[in-house]
């Protein structure tokens, strides 16, 4: 068959990646040829189809298309060593459509073209959502990433309905980055992958000429786009990274590992190995990647040194962050030796995987800015609503006099020391509840739990001899976030608590006379009451964080200085605390839970 007949036999879904070119010049044949060669390094035999920069006239305008199709053979993922006759033969294709100012890419089973993709800019979120939304659009499905920098926060959410704008509150959506959307316009369904700049018109496949015409129609819509305010405008919006790049001073980073864990779940990762050169020969040694990843599951502080922005990590000492012209990436000579091999036998350095997938959130000394999904976002609400944010802080003069978290213990102790945080909690709050339980230690839901006809309250306590410690604050916030779900426990959790709550309190090897049921008859009575009130439709859920190492007045002073762009010593710590508080408020709102922080005046 000649090329024309082969092209007529190709049918494609109206599904492609759309990018903007930095200049209005068409791609050169040399660049196209190089890209096709890189994409087909593992091909078997010659190209089945290989067309470079062929012109096509549409609506009196000339565009160019290029397409390559090839065969490759791979070992199935369910066998360890290659066996003759057990190979899988697959086809791959890559199609480039050049619109002078835009480039459209359709591909299948293609990798190794990241250098080529880096030459172009993805479409802005606002553009993609504007060209496919109007007042009659139904938003059927959304998936989003959380910008919350707490390692205990829910990282991703997916929602689906006939029309989400009718039943989803827009409050708090500003803290989420929209990733995928499915919209319905007059029974025409379109799926948008905003973080990948991909547009998918759901429906039957089209012939190659029809695919060209569809691509042209979308490009014209992009060129003529007028930005619109819609339901999707409630999500986080990006700003031009290049305008801020020179004044960005990173302060902390949270590396997101969900995508790697998901690839493990889907058996896409075959192995992880260290690749080192010994006597001019590369040696590979398999390692357990999961044991490495667990060391990165927390916010990491960044310090500026002569070598650049250094991540203060206890395991990897040479991990640095670099501000590039268009993005921010991670580098480490030590981690460069750690490779991940996938089921398709391709392997990449672990840092390349993290950088390609944009798997981190970065905060800066400007608290309104945050970097996520390879884009810079600005959230003016943080400093714009300080009065509202400070309302969750409740000052108690008694917390100025505490000297420990739990006090000292004796076998005759029946109460926590009055000058401890635990003692303060029981003195201040126990009388407000019908039942009060000390759940501290061993898979605790909270340090104290208070139950009444109207409320279920969790109390999380922490004492530290510090001032404005972001890491100490992160610990207690993380404890509160990971236990939000336990405000409404499942039926499988009661047996553990029944055995635990019947005991007296034990700490430092001392078994005291402090009953874990601080107010109430016995553990069975408490559990029956808990089961009853958690089922009340109007029950009020509350979280109290009780700390001694933050003063409300001092925090308010620092936040006002932050708002006025004034310098102060604890600036970076206060910025992180601001983000943690904002994240806590958002998470509690989504869980329909009130939150309060009890602190020094």
- What is the signed CA dihedral for 471, 473, 478, 479, rounded to 10 degrees? 120
Residues whose CB is less than 8 angstroms from the CB of residue 492 and which lie 6 or more positions away in sequence, other chains included: none
Torsions phi, psi for 322 (to 5 deg): -125, 135
**Do residues 232 and 277 both lie within one domain?**
no
Domain identity same for 266 and 320: yes
Looking at residue 36, what is its pLDDT?
96
Contact between 272 and 284 under an 8 Å Cβ cutoff? The reply is no
Distance CA 235, CA 174 (A): 4
Provide the domain count of the chain: 3
323/423 same-domain check = no
Domain boundary among 236, 256, 282: 236
For residue 507, give its domain range.
Answer: 386-600
Separation CA 503–CA 500 (nearest Å): 6
Decide: 64 and 104 in contact? Cβ < 8 Å: no
Same domain for 374 and 393? no
The secondary structure of residue 539, as a DSSP letter, is P
CB 445 within 8 A of CB 458: yes
Question: Are 251 and 142 found together in one domain?
Answer: no
Does residue 593 share a domain with residue 479? Answer: yes
Name residue 542's beta-bridge partners: 457, 594
Question: What pLDDT score does 195 carry?
Answer: 85
Q: What share of the chain is helix, strand, coil (3-state, %, to 5)?
A: 30, 35, 35
Pair 217, 163 in one domain? yes
Q: How far apart are CA 596 and CA 593, in angstroms?
A: 10
Q: What pLDDT is attached to residue 276? A: 85
The structure tokens listed for 567 are 């310098």
Q: Which residue in the block uniquely carries the two structure tokens 């250094």?
A: 310
Residue 21 and residue 448: Cα distance in Å, rounded? 58
What pLDDT does 518 receive? 94
**CA 197 – CA 209 distance, rounded (Å):** 22
Write the DSSP symbol of residue 295.
G
Q: Which residues contact 225 (CB under 8 A, 6 or more apart)?
A: 127, 130, 131
* CA distance linking residue 576 with residue 553, whole number of Å: 18
Q: How far apart are CA 80 and CA 450, in angstroms?
A: 55
Q: Using alpha carbons only, how large is the chain's radius of gyration in Å? A: 29
Q: Rounded distance, CA 596 to CA 389, Å?
A: 10
State the DSSP string of 241-266: HHHHGGG--EEEEEE--HHHHHHHHT
Residue 432 is classified by DSSP as G
Asked if 347 and 375 sit in the same domain, the reply is: yes
Q: Among 379, 409, 428, where does a domain finish?
A: 379
Which residues face 575 on adjacent strands? none
SS (H, E, C) 152-214: CCCCEEEEECCCHHHCCCCCCHHHEEEEEEEEEECCEEEEEECCCCEEEEEEEEEEHHHHHHH
Identify whether residues 371 and 403 lie together within a single domain: no
Residues 194 and 251 in one domain: no
pLDDT of residue 367: 87
> Is the pTM for the entire model greater than 0.85?
no
CB 474 within 8 A of CB 545: no
Q: In what order do the strands lie in the sheet with 338-342?
A: 281-287, 269-278, 338-342, 347-349
Distance CA 592, CA 69 (A): 53
Q: How far apart are CA 74 and CA 41, in angstroms?
A: 13
369 and 486 in a single domain? The answer is no
State how far the Cα of 323 lies from the Cα of 475, in Å rounded to an integer.
29
Query: Splitting the chain (601 residues) into consecutive groups of 10 residues, what average pLDDT does each group show?
Result: 87 95 91 94 92 93 95 82 86 95 95 88 89 90 88 85 87 84 92 93 93 96 90 85 92 89 86 87 88 86 88 91 91 91 83 87 90 85 81 96 94 93 96 95 92 96 90 90 92 88 89 92 91 94 96 94 88 88 87 95 96
Q: Which residue in the block uniquely carries the two structure tokens 């509160």?
A: 480
Q: Is residue 436 a contact partner of residue 426, using CB atoms and an 8 Å limit?
A: yes
Output the pLDDT for position 546: 97
Residues 45 and 63 in one domain: yes
Q: Which of 198, 217, 236 is the last residue of a domain?
A: 236
């Amino acid at each position: 068959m000649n090329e024309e007949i082969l092209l007529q036999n190709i049918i494609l879904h109206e599904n492609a990646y759309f990018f903007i070119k930095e200049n209005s010049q068409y791609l050169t044949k040399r660049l196209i040829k190089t890209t096709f060669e890189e994409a087909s390094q593992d091909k078997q035999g010659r190209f089945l189809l290989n067309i470079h920069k062929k012109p096509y006239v549409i609506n009196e305008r000339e565009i160019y298309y290029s397409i390559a199709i090839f065969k490759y053979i791979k070992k199935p993922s369910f066998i360890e060593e290659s066996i003759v006759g057990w190979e899988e033969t697959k086809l791959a294709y890559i199609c480039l459509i050049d619109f002078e100012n835009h480039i459209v890419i359709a591909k299948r089973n293609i990798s190794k073209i990241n250098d080529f993709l880096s030459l172009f800019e993805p479409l802005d979120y606002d553009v993609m959502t504007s060209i496919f939304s109007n007042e009659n659009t139904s938003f059927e499905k959304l998936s989003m990433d959380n910008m919350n920098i707490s390692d205990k926060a829910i990282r991703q959410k997916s929602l689906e309905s006939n029309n989400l704008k009718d039943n989803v509150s827009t409050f708090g959506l500003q803290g989420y980055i929209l990733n995928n959307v499915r919209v319905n316009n007059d029974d025409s369904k379109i799926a948008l992958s905003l973080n990948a700049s991909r547009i998918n018109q759901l429906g039957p496949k089209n012939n190659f000429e029809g695919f060209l015409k569809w691509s042209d129609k979308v490009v014209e819509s992009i060129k003529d786009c007028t930005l619109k305010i819609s339901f999707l405008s409630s999500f986080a919006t990006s700003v031009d990274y290049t305008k801020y790049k020179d004044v960005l001073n990173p302060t902390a980073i949270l590396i997101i590992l969900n995508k790697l864990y998901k690839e493990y779940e889907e058996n896409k990762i075959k192995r992880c190995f260290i690749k080192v050169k010994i006597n001019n020969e590369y040696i590979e040694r398999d390692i357990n990647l999961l044991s490495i990843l667990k060391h990165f599951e927390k916010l990491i502080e960044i310090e500026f040194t002569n070598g650049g922005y250094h991540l203060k990590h206890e395991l990897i000492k040479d991990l640095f962050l670099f501000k590039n012209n268009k993005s921010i990436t991670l580098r480490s000579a030590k981690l460069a030796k750690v490779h991940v091999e996938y089921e398709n036998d391709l392997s990449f350095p672990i840092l390349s995987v993290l950088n390609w997938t944009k798997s981190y959130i970065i905060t800066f000394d400007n608290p309104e800015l945050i970097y996520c999904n390879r884009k810079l976002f600005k959230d003016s609400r943080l400093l714009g609503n300080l009065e509202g944010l400070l309302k969750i802080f409740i000052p108690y003069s008694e917390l100025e006099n505490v000297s420990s978290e739990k006090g000292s213990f004796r076998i005759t102790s029946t109460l926590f020391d009055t000058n401890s945080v635990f003692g303060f909690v029981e003195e201040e709050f126990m009388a407000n509840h019908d039942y009060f339980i000390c759940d501290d230690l061993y898979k605790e839901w909270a340090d104290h739990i208070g139950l009444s006809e109207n409320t279920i309250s969790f109390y999380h306590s922490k004492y530290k001899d510090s001032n404005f410690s972001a890491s100490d604050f992160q610990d207690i916030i993380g404890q509160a976030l990971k236990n939000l779900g336990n405000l409404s426990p499942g039926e499988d959790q009661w047996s553990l608590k029944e055995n635990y709550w019947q005991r007296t309190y034990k700490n430092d090897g001392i078994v005291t006379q402090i009953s874990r049921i601080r107010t109430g008859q016995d553990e069975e009575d408490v559990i029956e009451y808990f089961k009853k009130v958690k089922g009340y439709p109007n029950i009020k859920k509350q979280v109290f964080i009780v700390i001694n190492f933050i003063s409300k007045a001092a925090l308010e002073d620092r936040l006002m200085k932050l708002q006025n762009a004034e310098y102060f010593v604890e600036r970076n710590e206060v910025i992180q605390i601001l983000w943690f508080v904002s994240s806590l408020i958002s998470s509690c709102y989504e869980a329909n839970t009130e939150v309060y922080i009890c602190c020094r005046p």
